[in-house]
Amino acid sequence: MSETATQVTEVPDKSELVERTALVIYGSLTLLGVLDAATYKNVVTTHFALALLVVVTSLSLVIAHAWSTMVARRLIRREKPTRDVLIKELWLAGAILAPMALVLAVIATSLPFEDVETNESVVATIVSAQYVLLVGIFVMGTIGARRAGLSWPRTLTWGLIDVGVGVLIVLLKDALKLFNG
């Protein structure tokens, strides 16, 4: 009787990649809502103020996510907090900065068109940034659906559903505007 060697192929742990990708999408969805809220009652009237809002929001999300994970680890896993774990969590949460970079790029390309007398160019920049974020969400959703082996019609449907979640967030923010005058 001869022994046959079975070759075991290790599947790399992709949980960290899943978490980082989820945070990119989470950051995109959050910025969609924040950008929409920024158009309410001229909260942001210059491109500089818009950029500052995007940076502060994104950095706040990174800190909030990393710290809440540290608290959850203590609470659920009874882990002692360490600097290494905090750094790892900040690194993972740093994925939220990818959508921030996209929005800042849109803002930078809009700077030459800034009209300091009105905020119309800022509103146009916000709408452009929202479109960029929605396209990014669609692309990630469709790539994910194709990688999952779905047909093209189902892939495109999932991409549209993913964009629909982003649009829903904007519509929810707009509904609040209706109730607040």
How far is C-alpha 63 from the chain's CA centre?
Answer: 14
The whole-number pLDDT of residue 10 equals 55
Return mean pLDDT, the chain: 90
pLDDT of residue 14: 86
Using one digit for the tens of pLDDT, what is the confidence trace for 114-167?
877 777 899 999 999 999 999 999 999 999 999 999 999 999 999 999 999 999
pLDDT tens-digit readout, 15-44: 889 999 999 999 999 999 999 989 887 789
Q: How confident is the model at residue 177 (pLDDT cuts 50, 70, 90)?
A: confident
Q: Which DSSP string corresponds to 28-72?
A: HHHHHHHHHHHTGGGS--SHHHHHHHHHHHHHHHHHHHHHHHHHH
Identify whether the C-beta of residue 138 lies closer than 8 Å to the C-beta of residue 159: yes
Cα–Cα distance for residue pair 27/22, rounded to 1 Å = 8
Q: Provide the pLDDT for residue 118.
A: 75
Q: How far is CA 7 from CA 3, 12, 14, 92, in A?
A: 12, 15, 21, 33
Question: Does the structure show a pLDDT above 90 at 169?
Answer: yes
